[in-house]
Amino acid sequence: VASPKPVSVMFKVYCLSVMTLVAATYTVVLRYTRTVSSTAMYFSTTAVCITEVIKLFLSLGMLTKETGSFGRLKASIVEHVFWSPKELLKLSVPSVVYAVQNNMAFVALSNLDAAVYQVTYQLKIPCTALCMVLMLNRSLSRLQWFSVFMLCLGVTLVQWKPAEATKVQVEQNPFLGFMAIAVAVLCSGFAGVYFEKVLKSSDTSLWFWPVTQTIS
């Protein structure tokens, strides 16, 4: 069996840079468009739908490169998606959960400051660890649990800053915002761990999962 081709350092740096850029700008831009922008308010469901469509096209592009031709791409999609109802059923669970999570993020950022949202959203770290214990039958030592909460606290302290006065053009409901972020935290922990569990039990290419999720 041929050993897997090692990932280049440049590709790792590229992935890290893109993830950092997305994480740094997502919350600020979303908060701005939901509260400060003077344009007509858009539907959060429309934004989530467009995001999934973009992910679909990007995944299809990566699959085309991986398979080598459009003919092989079509055959692979038919085999792994349309002829695999079990895979569609499995992926329907995180698809729904991620859809709820993304919509809750819009609700939360429409009713909470960006800093408060970022700090509260770090509860997803211990939530994910708890889901790993319950769903993957993993056991974490006291030191590991301590590390999880220290990581959560560290990220919170890094992102925390005094709230600045901002001109907000929409009426806000902090209680609704906190309830929405609580749902988003639970969805994030569950969906991430469930997706890992399903991914490890299948030999399908990673790039098929966004396609399957979008169809689901």
Q: Which of 43-57, 122-136, 164-178, 194-208 has the lowest mean pLDDT?
A: 164-178
**101-106 mean pLDDT:** 88
Report the distance separating Cα 29 and Cα 26, nearest Å: 5
Split at pLDDT 50, 70, 90, the class of 165 is very low
User: Exposure of 125 by Cβ count < 10 A (0-12 exposed, 13-18 middle, 19+ buried)?
Assistant: buried
> Is residue 118 over pLDDT 60?
yes
Quick one: tokens of 175? Answer: 């209680």
pLDDT digits (tens, 9 = 90+) for 35-81: 765 566 777 778 778 887 888 888 788 778 877 778 887 887 777 77
Report the distance separating Cα 112 and Cα 184, nearest Å: 14
pLDDT digits (tens, 9 = 90+) for 182-191: 999 999 889 8
Report the distance separating Cα 83 and Cα 86, nearest Å: 9
Where along the chain do its domains lie? 26-215
Q: In this structure, how many other beta carbons lie within 10 angstroms of the beta carbon of residue 129?
A: 21
Report pTM: 0.69
Residue type, 180: A
> Is residue 151 over pLDDT 70?
yes
pLDDT at site 156: 65
> Is residue 216 over pLDDT 90?
no
> DSSP character for 51?
H
CA angle 10, 16, 22 (to 5 degrees): 135
The string over 22-56, giving b where at least 16 C-beta atoms fall within 10 Å of a residue's C-beta and e elsewhere, is: eeeeebeebbebbbeeeeeeeebeebbeeebeeee
